[in-house]
Amino acid sequence: MNLLLIHFAMRASAWSDVSAALRRDSLADDRPNLLRVGCAKPSRRKAAPTIAGIVCGLLLLVWPVALHAEDGYRLWLRYERIGDEKLLAAYLPALGQIVLSTPAGTDSATLAAARTELAAGLDGMLGLKAVVIVVAGAPASAVGEEGYSLQTTPRDGRRTIVISASRDIGVLYGAFALLRLIQTGEPVDKLNLTSVPKIQRRMLDHWDNLNGFIERGYAGFSLWQWFQLPEYRDPRYRDYARAMASIGLNGTVLTNVNANALVLTPAYLEKVAALAEEFRPYGIRVYLTARFSAPIEIGGLKTADPLDPAVAAWWRKKADEIYSYVPDFGGFVVKANSEGQPGPHEYGRTHAEGANMLADALEPHGGILMWRAFVYAADNETDRVNQAYKQFTVLDGQFRDNVVVQIKNGPLDFMPREPFHPLFGAMPHTRLALELQITQEYLGLSVHLAYLGPLWQEVLDSDTFAQGPGSTVARVIDGRLYERDLSVIAGVANTGSDRNWTGHPLAQANWYTFGRLAWDNTLSAEVVAREWTQMTFGRAPATVATVAKILLGSRETVVNYSMPLGLHHIMAEGHHYGPGPWVHHERPDWSSSYYHQADEIGLGANRGAKGSNATGTYAKELAARWDDIETCPENLLLWFHHVPWDHRMKSGRILWDELCLRYQQGVDEVRTIQRDWDSLAGKIDAERYAHVQALLRRQESDACDWREACLLYFQTFAKRPLPAGVEAPAHDLAYYEAVKLRYVPGHPGDY
């Protein structure tokens, strides 16, 4: 017994050293990670054993994995100590000296950041105080402006890893890549690799308002403390920049696409400049959303007509002013003539005329203009999914060289599943950007688990046939298909002021995956999921396999219990959380029935050649396949076709039975995910384990609501019983129709 108490006391006494290391390795130095369950805050110095210390030591012995509270703040940059002795034996000889090589060979804030990161990572993972030096090297032309090479080579009689690049930002990316290799257990003793980003501008779009509210944000409020800037700069800005650089993202759009012109005034430009200073060492340029009517709202003009010389002059002067505050300012994002936002159509001008006027103001400074193609109007009889195609294809070739038309992945609005946007195959003379939504507006917010890597890979791999087979969306947007010299990808951010950044602990995987695919769009969602899991939860094979399995199937699970077989836009009004197939609005295109078109005959939108002809907006190879109900893929069937309830599906079941069983399958899959997650008890930290477990319980309840509400509603048209294998509803349809959620995160109303 005495020996046991001594053991506990020794463990408790050593805790101060462990805690100090954890604080040192955490993303924010001023944010200590403390042991849970009420243990006293550990001292930095060794102390005599106390009762509290003995209790802490006992807890450490009972649950050795939970050495400290893991609240998710450190994201994938945890740099936990490697316990595998074989790995340590392999790494230590190879990492004694690291050389950072750039043509300039002089220090900079970016190289200092690389040295700091390497020191923290190697010390945290290996306990190694590696020598990191900066030298002048030959220009690494093969890696371009941002790429890097990693090589293991002898130098001064010792094995050395050389991180070389044409610019210091490439060195920083290379430093993060080296640490990633170590985190994921990859060998580094014979490195000889080169990595170059496939897309030039890789950015997050923050839909953040100046009052701190984030539209479609589900992880708290904005990271940007506008009221306190520029004097006080939250240390979290640096941690945000580190996370961005670690996955190769190089731009951030600070403000909401539903823009506020005030951000373009001097009082706010000072604040923007302060953020730009914080981000600059990590290679991140800032961008702003420009409200098209700003010349009227803050400029005192009576018009915002893009062809009015006074308006063009005002924007040129405003661009000059912005660049005086932020010399490396990236440019503007504009949402115009959509959902009430002002634009050139008010003056009888085209999207190209509006975009070109702003692009001309940015061009002398090297800025770019990203003009969003998310446009639709209430007074338009054209199928909503065809409106952007109709408005933009006639403008192909009319945009300036520094204009990029930014297009959502699908023609509607970030649905759980929809076909790729037809504009990607229809504008060969225009620079096109892909816009993805990382925040889960239609996939359960940050309550439901939905790993979006498979969705994005599905889009990137889609063949437009624009230049024959192999003309994938990935090749369109990265410039390879048409040899473009400007390429852009944007992701609507899922970050916020929540301690763990993204609300749902596993939603961090979406931020990470977006960055990795933005750098290299040939990576597979599975590879990236496993990589993120290793960096976030450790390399134990069973843990990695389980978490990766959970992630990879989760998006399809959400599709199954919410909008299977090509159903879309049948969610609750306004906040979009939960089912609402009955939603009726005075605007048809805001009504669920506009999209599902349920009647006594069948279900689904009629978008074939005999309907709205959305199939005709795609290449003939796709149109022919999708136009035929027999050859249309079943996961898009109800997107393109109004299908009879008794239509025989590939399973041999009729549509009604198949639909019901898909909804049930989604619920069953959530339960499988719960069991898989439960199997991780004791294998990962208690805090994140419990958080995810609680959210999965909510997800199961919500999945049941989706299943029951949708099937009861569609049953009023199908007039068929639920097939065997589908659980009986807990309530009647009137119950679900009466549900009204209040103050749902991410929506400004009281829906």
Q: What is the pLDDT of residues 584-642, one digit of tens each?
A: 999 999 999 999 999 999 999 999 999 999 999 999 999 999 999 999 999 999 999 99
How many Å apart are CA 582 and CA 485, to the nearest integer?
Answer: 47
How many Å apart are CA 218 and CA 203, to the nearest integer?
Answer: 19
Residue 606 lies in a domain: no
Which pLDDT score, from 0 to 100, does residue 94 have?
A: 80
Classify 334 as helix, strand or coil.
strand
User: Could you tell me if residue 592 is left (phi over 0), alpha (psi between -120 and 50 degrees) or otherwise beta?
Assistant: alpha
How many Å apart are CA 525 and CA 653, to the nearest integer?
Answer: 32
Look at 57-71, 131-145, 243-257, 310-324 and tell me which has the smallest mean pLDDT: 57-71
CB 330 within 8 A of CB 276: no
Catalytic residue among 80, 117, 208, 413: 413
Residues 312, 313, 314, 319: is their CA dihedral positive or negative?
positive
Q: What is the pLDDT of residues 220-236, one digit of tens each?
A: 999 999 999 999 999 99
Residue 259 lies in a domain: yes
Q: Could you tell me the pTM of the whole model?
A: 0.91
Neighbours of 253 (CB within 10 A): 24
Which pLDDT score, from 0 to 100, does residue 405 have?
A: 98
- As a whole number, mean pLDDT of residues 466-480 equals 98
Q: Name the residue with tokens 């101060």.
A: 16
Q: Domain check: are 39 and 109 in the same one?
A: no
Higher per-residue pLDDT: 240 or 154? 240
CA dihedral 114, 117, 121, 122 (to 10 degrees): 50
Pairing of strands 285-289, 158-164: unpaired
Residue 405 lies in a domain: yes
Tokens read off for 594: 């506009």
Read off the CATH number of the domain in which 222 is found.
Answer: 3.20.20.80
Catalytic residue among 71, 80, 363, 441: 441
Q: Domain check: are 188 and 210 in the same one?
A: no
How many Å apart are CA 573 and CA 693, to the nearest integer?
Answer: 28
- As a whole number, mean pLDDT of residues 697-708 equals 98
Q: What is the pLDDT of residues 508-529, one digit of tens each?
A: 999 999 999 999 999 999 999 9
Residue 404 lies in a domain: yes
70 is catalytic: no
Which pLDDT score, from 0 to 100, does residue 93 have?
A: 82
Q: Is the pLDDT of residue 323 over 60?
A: yes
Catalytic residue among 339, 599, 646, 727: 339
Q: Domain check: are 391 and 482 in the same one?
A: yes
Q: What is the pLDDT of residues 542-582, one digit of tens each?
A: 999 999 999 999 999 999 999 999 999 999 999 999 999 99
Residue 641 lies in a domain: no
Helix, strand, coil shares, percent, the chain, to 5 = 45, 10, 45
Given pLDDT bands bounded at 50, 70 and 90, which one contains residue 750?
low
Which pLDDT score, from 0 to 100, does residue 61 have?
A: 40
Which helix H or strand E contains 90, and what residues bound it? helix 85-94
Pairing of strands 251-253, 201-205: parallel
Q: Domain check: are 130 and 188 in the same one?
A: yes
Q: Is the pLDDT of residue 249 over 90?
A: yes
What is the domain count for the chain?
A: 3
Q: Domain check: are 348 and 403 in the same one?
A: yes
Which pLDDT score, from 0 to 100, does residue 68 have?
A: 56
Among 30, 62, 94, the domain-final residue is 62
Which pLDDT score, from 0 to 100, does residue 378 have?
A: 83
- As a whole number, mean pLDDT of residues 335-363 equals 97
Residue 558 lies in a domain: no
Tokens read off for 648: 């025989």
Q: How many residues does the chain have?
A: 751
Q: Domain check: are 50 and 145 in the same one?
A: no
Which pLDDT score, from 0 to 100, does residue 55 have?
A: 41
Which pLDDT score, from 0 to 100, does residue 43 have?
A: 33
Q: Is the pLDDT of residue 732 over 80?
A: yes
Given pLDDT bands bounded at 50, 70 and 90, which one contains residue 86?
confident
The distance from CA 536 to its chain's CA centroid, rounded to whole angstroms, is 16
How many Å apart are CA 718 and CA 559, to the nearest integer?
Answer: 21
658 is catalytic: no
- As a whole number, mean pLDDT of residues 456-479 equals 98
Q: Which amino acid is at 48?
A: A
Residue 219 lies in a domain: yes
Q: Which of 402, 454, 459 is nearest to 425 (CA)?
A: 459
Q: Domain check: are 295 and 382 in the same one?
A: yes
Q: Domain check: are 171 and 249 in the same one?
A: no
How many Å apart are CA 306 and CA 313, to the nearest integer?
Answer: 10
Q: Domain check: are 151 and 103 in the same one?
A: yes
How many Å apart are CA 165 and CA 195, to the nearest integer?
Answer: 10
Which pLDDT score, from 0 to 100, does residue 699 have?
A: 98
- Burial 323-356, CB ≥16 within 10 A → b, else e: bebbeebbbbbbbbbbeebbbbbebebbbbbbbb
Q: What is the pLDDT of residues 97-150, one digit of tens each?
A: 999 999 987 889 999 999 999 999 999 999 999 889 999 887 667 899 999 999
Neighbours of 603 (CB within 10 A): 25
463 is catalytic: no
Given pLDDT bands bounded at 50, 70 and 90, which one contains residue 6?
very low
Q: Domain check: are 100 and 208 in the same one?
A: no
Read off the CATH number of the domain in which 120 is found.
Answer: 3.30.379.10
Q: What is the pLDDT of residues 166-188, one digit of tens each?
A: 999 999 999 999 999 999 999 99
Given pLDDT bands bounded at 50, 70 and 90, which one contains residue 702?
very high
Residue 419 lies in a domain: no
Pairing of strands 192-195, 158-164: unpaired
Mean pLDDT score of the chain, rounded to an integer?
A: 91
Q: Which residues contact 90 (CB under 8 A, 6 or more apart)?
A: 187, 189
Question: 368 phi and psi, to 5 degrees?
Answer: -120, 160
- As a whole number, mean pLDDT of residues 238-244 equals 98
How many Å apart are CA 268 and CA 688, to the nearest integer?
Answer: 37
Pairing of strands 97-102, 403-408: unpaired
Q: Domain check: are 295 and 351 in the same one?
A: yes
Q: Domain check: are 256 and 319 in the same one?
A: yes
Q: Is the pLDDT of residue 724 over 50?
A: yes
Tokens read off for 637: 């069937």
Classify 15 as helix, strand or coil.
helix
List the end-to-end C-alpha distance of the chain, in Å, as a whole number.
61
Q: How many CA atoms lie within 13 A of 583 on its CB side?
A: 27
Q: Is the pLDDT of residue 719 over 80?
A: yes
Which pLDDT score, from 0 to 100, does residue 92 have?
A: 84
Tokens read off for 78: 């945890």
- As a whole number, mean pLDDT of residues 44-67 equals 42
Q: Is the pLDDT of residue 505 over 80?
A: yes
Q: What is the pLDDT of residues 386-423, one digit of tens each?
A: 999 999 999 999 999 999 999 999 999 999 999 999 99
How many Å apart are CA 16 and CA 688, to the nearest integer?
Answer: 23
Neighbours of 254 (CB within 10 A): 25
State what percent of residues in the chain have pLDDT above 70: 90
- As a whole number, mean pLDDT of residues 325-351 equals 97
Look at 45-59, 92-106, 319-333, 661-675 and tell me which has the smallest mean pLDDT: 45-59
- As a whole number, mean pLDDT of residues 347-369 equals 98
Give the domain range for residue 429. Answer: 201-233+245-414+424-439+477-498
